[in-house]
């Protein structure tokens, strides 16, 4: 009887060892997985000069020039910068959040910006000059 209990005990220990060794391999696989690469936020804050001319718009900064996707946000920005323009084609400094996307059309710039949020119109002195005149 002692031999039968001993065999059962050894069998249970052998099964337990096998079960734990399988778990370790699974854990090692999880531990050896490559870390996921962090992707930078595609929405960027940009400061530059903005001009809107009917069917085209441009945002030009110190080290970039983007075509602006004509949508409701770019039209809102165009209306907001009008009081700051002395002439129709004056560029106005703005600060916006937008997504840089490839230009699907063959003409113009390689990349466009889709304006997501208008943060600030930076040229307030032009508005005060116009109001004083």
Q: Note the pLDDT of residue 73.
A: 94
Q: Note the pLDDT of residue 8.
A: 76
Q: Where are the domains of the chain?
A: 44-121
CA distance 73 to 111: 18
DSSP 8-state assignment for residue 44: E
- In this prediction, residue 106 has a pLDDT band, given cuts at 50, 70 and 90, of confident
User: What tens digit of pLDDT does each residue of 9-42 get?
Assistant: 777 777 777 666 655 455 556 566 565 555 556 7
Higher pLDDT, 122 or 131: 122
Higher pLDDT, 54 or 93: 93
- Structural Rg of the chain based on CA atoms: 32
User: What tens digit of pLDDT does each residue of 50-59 get?
Assistant: 999 878 899 9
For the segment 48-76, the average pLDDT, to the nearest whole number, is 91
Question: Which of 13-22, 31-40, 70-79, 85-94 comes out lowest in average pLDDT?
Answer: 31-40
CA distance 88 to 78: 11
CB-based burial of residue 47 (10 Å sphere; 0-12 exposed, 13-18 middle, 19+ buried)? Answer: middle
CA distance 92 to 101: 22
This prediction's pTM: 0.61
- How do the residues of the chain divide into helix, strand and coil, expressed in percent and rounded to 5? 40, 30, 30
- Is the per-residue pLDDT at 75 higher than 90? yes
- In this prediction, residue 117 has a pLDDT band, given cuts at 50, 70 and 90, of very high
Q: How far is CA 6 from the centre of its chain?
A: 65
Question: Tokens standing for 123?
Answer: 């040229």
CA distance 6 to 111: 75
Fold of 44-121: OB fold (Dihydrolipoamide Acetyltransferase, E2P) (2.40.50)
């Amino acid at each position: 009887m002692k031999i039968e209990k001993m065999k059962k005990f050894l069998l249970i220990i052998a099964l337990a060892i096998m079960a734990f060794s399988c778990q370790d391999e699974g854990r090692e696989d999880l531990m050896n997985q490559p870390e996921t690469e962090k992707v930078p936020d595609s929405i960027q804050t940009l400061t530059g000069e903005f001009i809107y001319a009917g069917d085209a718009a441009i945002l030009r900064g110190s080290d970039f020039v983007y075509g602006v996707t004509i949508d409701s946000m770019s039209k809102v920005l165009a209306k907001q910068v009008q009081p700051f323009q002395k002439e129709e084609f004056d560029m106005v400094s703005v600060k916006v959040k937008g997504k840089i996307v490839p230009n699907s059309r063959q003409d113009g710039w390689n990349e466009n910006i889709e304006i997501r949020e208008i943060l600030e119109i930076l040229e307030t002195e032009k508005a005060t000059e116009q109001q004083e005149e």
